[in-house]
Copies of this chain bind each other. A is one copy, B any other.
Amino acid sequence: MPDINISGAIRLPKAVAKPKPASSPCAACTIRDLAVCSALEGTELDRLNAIRMPAQMTGGGTLFDEGATADYVYNLTVGTMKLYRLLPDGRRQITGFVYPGDFLGLANNGERAYTAEALSDISLCKFKRGQLENLFNEFPKLKDRLLGISRDELVAAQAQMLLLGRKTARERIASFIIATIERAELMGLPTNPIEVPMSRNDIGDYLGLTTETVSRTLTRLKQTKMISLPANKQIGIIDRDGLTKIAEGF
């Protein structure tokens, strides 16, 4: 899977996060290079900062629910989130995870299409929808960015459809591991072992599998010496090329 997030969360092209000398809150932001904000500089950034509201939430909290009115949009700065849709009997499909730098909440018709929940404690920049839209109109390059990103997201969504519709459990797990490695590379985080902040249950709901199948499949990948499971929420990569082959369906 490419280095983009699917469905709702918007990520900007590759740029390694690096600390900024503090002068305004935005200029000091550690994930500025990853976020929408990277399209702006200098006084433009001040304009963004003027309409920015900082927000926090503890792990497990719900930022917004499917069906709610979409009055705000957000930019995640710290932590991880999950986006999901539910069926009436509780079956759940996680449509994407949100990482620092990702933008979320841009609903089209004013209604949220998914629930957004914090996996860990999170910090966000919060914007009133209309105010940010005004800024978008003022700085068209922001709009171009979003358009390009949306197309990338569509491509990622297609990859996920291929995964959900046609890949085996083994292939899905391998795809997930490879995608997680690629995201870690993109964000400049450790790539071996990789950090996997979500539960087995969440992984299952993302890959269209049950917790048990996720667990079993990981165990089998460990037995066949493709990965190791050194600690909770960590996966050690032993045979990346092998995993890639599996992920691609060979």
| A186 interface contact, C-beta 8 A | no
Bound-state Cα–Cα, A181 to B250, Å = 38
Please tell me if the beta carbons of A87 and B249 are within 8 angstroms of each other in the complex: yes
Q: Interface size bucket, A side?
A: 35 or more
Contact of A89 among B85, B93, B249 (CB under 8 A): B249
Closest to A114 in B: B158
Please tell me if the beta carbons of A91 and B249 are within 8 angstroms of each other in the complex: yes
| A57 interface contact, C-beta 8 A | no
Please tell me if the beta carbons of B162 and A161 are within 8 angstroms of each other in the complex: no
Q: Which residues of B contact A143 (CB under 8 A)?
A: 143-144, 147
- Report the minimal beta-carbon distance from A153 to chain B, rounded to whole angstroms: 6
Q: Mark A80-116, 1 if CB is under 8 A from B, else 0.
A: 0000010111011101000000000011100001100
| A59 interface contact, C-beta 8 A | no
Contact of A207 among B87, B158, B165, B250 (CB under 8 A): B165
Bound-state Cα–Cα, A160 to B143, Å = 26
Closest to A155 in B: B113
Bound-state Cα–Cα, A248 to B148, Å = 32
Q: Which residues of B contact A165 (CB under 8 A)?
A: 93, 164, 205, 207-208
Bound-state Cα–Cα, A157 to B8, Å = 10
Beyond the given A88-B248, A107-B151, could you list 7 further A-B residue pairs with CB under 8 A, ordered by the A residue number? A6-B157, A87-B167, A91-B249, A93-B158, A143-B144, A154-B157, A164-B165
Binding site for B on A (CB under 8 A): 6-8, 85, 87-89, 91-93, 95, 106-108, 113-114, 140, 143-144, 146-148, 150-155, 157-162, 164-167, 205, 207-208, 248-250
